[in-house]
Amino acid sequence: MSPSQSVHRVPVRTQSLTGAQQQRPVQPQQQLPPQHHLSYRAQYSSPSQTLNRQHSAMPPLPVQIDPLYQIFSSVDKDGIGKLSASELRSALVNFDKTKFDPETIKLMIKLFDSDGSGTIDYTEFKRLWNYLGEWLERFQQFDLDHNTTISIDEFALALQSFGFQFSPSFVRFMFNHYDKRGTGSISFDLFVQANITLQRMHDAFRKYDRGQGTIQISLEDLLTEVLYLK
């Protein structure tokens, strides 16, 4: 995903003196005629003074809209101020312009749908966007060859840096599971999905760990944790 944001520049209207006015130099200590004084004030007075003096000659400046809100509103097709899973998926794409995996979208909604509506409002969308921005920095940190995907070696390095000590066979098992497109690499959305899911599973494990790195868990507790993670 390249969540770059465009910057809207507000055009500035400049005023020039007429030909007759340009030919009339202003001498030191000379009082400007009223019409010249008005033009000078229009350029150097406060915005409220300028609008009061020239409201008939100058149109109001356009309101600058938050670029992120423009993204949100452009995919909010029904205009209710909330994004469904399909609408959110339209807003989130990888570097190659492919849409996020549905499971990643489901995970994002689970993490940021604070009111349990099953949708994402604009406040939740802003938090989600910033969260993905943090993951984007990590993704680019481990994308050593800068090809916008993560190889298995880069994936193993990321897991190790996050504090996980897994065997090479398990790393490959995880990698193959999240290489859902069968390309031999993991895109940004699947990198996020893999690591967030792994972190949530690790947190669930720690609830039962007594500091030995192994746990004893009942079938009921195990099923509870698994269903909660879905």
Higher pLDDT, 216 or 117: 117
Q: Average pLDDT, stretch 13-38?
A: 44
Share of the chain above pLDDT 70, in %: 70
Q: Do residues 62 and 10 touch, judged by C-beta distance below 8 A?
A: yes
User: What pLDDT, on the 0 to 100 scale, is given for residue 36?
Assistant: 40
Higher-pLDDT residue of 59 and 94 is 94
Q: What is the pLDDT of residue 77?
A: 92
Which residues have CB under 8 Å from 124's CB, separation 6+? 112, 113, 114
Query: What tokens does 109 get?
Result: 């909604």
Position 11 pLDDT exceeds 70: no
Per-residue confidence at 4, pLDDT binned at 50, 70, 90? Answer: very low
Q: Looking at residue 59, what is its pLDDT? A: 58
Give the whole-angstrom CA distance, residue 118 versus residue 44: 52
Q: Are 125 and 83 in contact (CB under 8 A)?
A: yes
Give the span between the Cα atoms of 118 and 84, in whole angstroms.
Answer: 7
Tell me the H-state helices in 67-187.
Answer: 67-75, 85-91, 102-112, 122-142, 152-161, 168-178
Q: What is the residue-wise DSSP string for 31-91?
A: PPPHHHHHHHHHHHS-HHHHHHHHTTTSPPPPPPPPHHHHHHHHH-TT-SSEE-HHHHHHH
Domains of the chain by start residue, with CATH: 67-229 (1.10.238.10)
Q: Residue 151, Cβ neighbours under 10 Å: how many?
A: 17
Please state, in angstroms and rounded to a whole number, the distance separating the CA atoms of residues 1 and 98. 9
Residues 32 and 43: beta-carbon distance below 8 Å? no
Q: Output 186 or 208, whichever has higher pLDDT.
A: 186
Interatomic CA distance for residues 56 and 67, integer angstroms: 30
pLDDT at 184: 96
Specify whether the backbone of 162 is left (phi greater than 0), alpha (psi in -120 to 50) or beta. Answer: alpha
pTM listed for this prediction = 0.67
Q: Which residue has the higher pLDDT, 221 or 59?
A: 221
At 31-54, the pLDDT tens digits run 544 444 333 333 334 444 444 444
Place of tokens 């020039």: 16
Task: Map tokens 């097709």 to a residue.
Answer: 77
Task: Count CB-CB contacts under 10 A for residue 1.
Answer: 21
Tens of pLDDT, residues 77-93:
999 999 999 999 999 99
